[in-house]
């Protein structure tokens, strides 16, 4: 079988570089082209010496990449993906957007949270937002994929069973992410002495991932779900823990909750429901496509506490994008993603 030719737009951003890292060992795909506005003409391995001898390709400006590749991954600031999606569509190629432009169904919500308009609305009618474990059926026949955000992936997987069964409401999501979630760009926030031995929330109850999470949960519940979502910055590189609190509509023991979750995810290779009593820890999923979920009941206060752990760069970005690519191309969903997390 000929390998799928993949083009990565924005290859020097963190999600882009992680895509290259993973695709370079994918058995049925290969990196055909890497582009970057900031580093055009440089080798990718000059920007990331970790890729020395692995991907020494020269970064292009991306012009015409749609002609040369079977699938385009775009990792761009919001507002720039529609045009690239249209080009891919016209060239009859697949387009997977790791940015925010194809995540929200509602043009109003997009406008409210991102301050931009959908310029090519027809694209959004054809595109599909896909966390494979929840939406893979919808991918069939599509060409444009809105790859989910990192926080929303963890929160949706954590709460899906409860929402689907309409067992809970009053949702609070207290999420914590490693610093790679802030990307490659320099900022005071990501200056080492400001992050190290530091911890704080940010964008309290006003983070852009809020409407994306509410969209997924509302569809699952069949009703409008409102959440309080507060992200925090963890002093580590990779990984997200979302600690999700939900008021139970009727009392449920930890055992019942656990049974619900193991059943819901029984067929999923990338979701691991932890044994009852254990706690999800991001160290057990780093560098892998796994989402670990632990289930807890606070019978005293009548809440369920569900904790989901993912690697924000893999299951939360590049890995999930490749998982979506695998589905789009009829490959086994786990191809190129069977990494075992290093415990230490």
Answer whether 84's CB lies under 8 Å from 91's CB.
no
DSSP 8-state secondary structure symbol assigned to residue 300? T
One of 157, 234, 257, 308 touching its own copies (CB under 8 A): 234
One of 38, 106, 196, 253 touching its own copies (CB under 8 A): 196
C-alpha 6/C-alpha 23 separation (Å) is: 8
Q: Which of residues 35-94 bind its own copies (CB under 8 A)?
A: 48-54
Instruction: Residue 210: name the closest of 196, 191, 230, 224 by CA.
Output: 230
Instruction: From 83-91, 133-141, 142-150, 227-235, give the range in contact with its own copies by CB under 8 A.
Output: 227-235
Nearer to its own copies, 142 or 283 (CB): 283
Active site residues: 150
One of 269, 276, 329, 335 touching its own copies (CB under 8 A): 269
Cβ 97 to its own copies, closest distance in Å? Answer: 22
Instruction: Report which secondary-structure segment, H or E, holds 4.
Output: strand 4-9
Cβ 225 to its own copies, closest distance in Å? Answer: 10
Cβ 246 to its own copies, closest distance in Å? Answer: 10
One of 227, 248, 291, 321 touching its own copies (CB under 8 A): 227
C-alpha 54/C-alpha 300 separation (Å) is: 54
Nearer to its own copies, 89 or 227 (CB): 227
C-alpha 119/C-alpha 329 separation (Å) is: 28
- Does position 313 interact with its own copies (CB under 8 A)? The reply is yes
3-class secondary structure, 148: coil
The radius of gyration of the chain's CA atoms, rounded to the nearest angstrom, is 20
Instruction: Report which secondary-structure segment, H or E, holds 326.
Output: helix 319-328
- Does position 289 interact with its own copies (CB under 8 A)? The reply is no
Binding mask 243-262 for its own copies (x = CB under 8 A): x-x-x---------------
Residue 127 CB-density burial (10 A; 0-12 exposed, 13-18 middle, 19+ buried): buried
Q: How many residues bind its own copies (CB under 8 A)?
A: 86
Instruction: From 103-111, 130-138, 144-152, 306-314, give the range in contact with its own copies by CB under 8 A.
Output: 306-314
């Amino acid at each position: 079988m000929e390998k799928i030719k993949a083009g990565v737009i924005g290859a020097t951003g963190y999600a882009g570089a992680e895509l290259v890292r993973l695709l370079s060992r994918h058995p049925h795909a290969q990196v055909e082209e890497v582009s970057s506005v900031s580093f055009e003409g440089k080798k990718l391995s000059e920007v990331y010496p970790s890729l020395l001898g692995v991907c020494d390709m020269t970064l292009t400006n991306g012009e015409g990449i749609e002609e040369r590749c079977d699938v385009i991954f775009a990792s761009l600031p919001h507002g720039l993906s529609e045009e690239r999606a249209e080009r891919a569509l016209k060239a009859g190629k697949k387009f997977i957007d790791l940015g925010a432009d194809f995540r929200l169904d509602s043009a109003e919500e997009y406008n409210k949270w991102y301050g931009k308009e959908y310029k090519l609305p027809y694209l959004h009618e054809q595109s599909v937002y896909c966390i494979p474990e929840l939406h893979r059926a919808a991918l069939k026949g599509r060409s444009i994929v809105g790859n989910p955000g990192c926080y929303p992936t963890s929160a949706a997987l954590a709460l899906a069973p409860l929402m689907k069964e309409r067992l809970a409401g009053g949702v609070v999501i207290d999420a914590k992410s490693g610093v790679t979630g802030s990307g490659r760009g320099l900022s005071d926030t990501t200056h080492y002495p400001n992050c190290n031995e530091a911890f704080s929330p940010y964008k309290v109850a006003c983070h852009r991932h809020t409407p994306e999470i509410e969209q997924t949960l509302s569809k699952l519940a069949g009703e409008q779900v409102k959440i309080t979502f507060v992200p925090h910055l963890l002093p580590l590189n990779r990984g997200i823990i979302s600690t999700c609190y939900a008021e139970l509509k009727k009392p449920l023991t930890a055992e019942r909750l656990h049974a619900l979750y193991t059943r819901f995810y029984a067929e999923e290779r990338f979701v691991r429901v932890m044994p009852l009593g254990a706690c999800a820890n991001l160290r057990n999923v780093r560098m892998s496509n796994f989402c670990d979920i632990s289930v807890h009941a606070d019978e005293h206060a009548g809440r369920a506490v569900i904790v989901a752990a993912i690697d924000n760069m893999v299951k939360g970005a590049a890995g999930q994008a490749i998982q979506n690519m695998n589905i789009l191309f009829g490959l086994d969903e786990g191809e190129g993603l069977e990494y075992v997390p290093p415990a230490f």
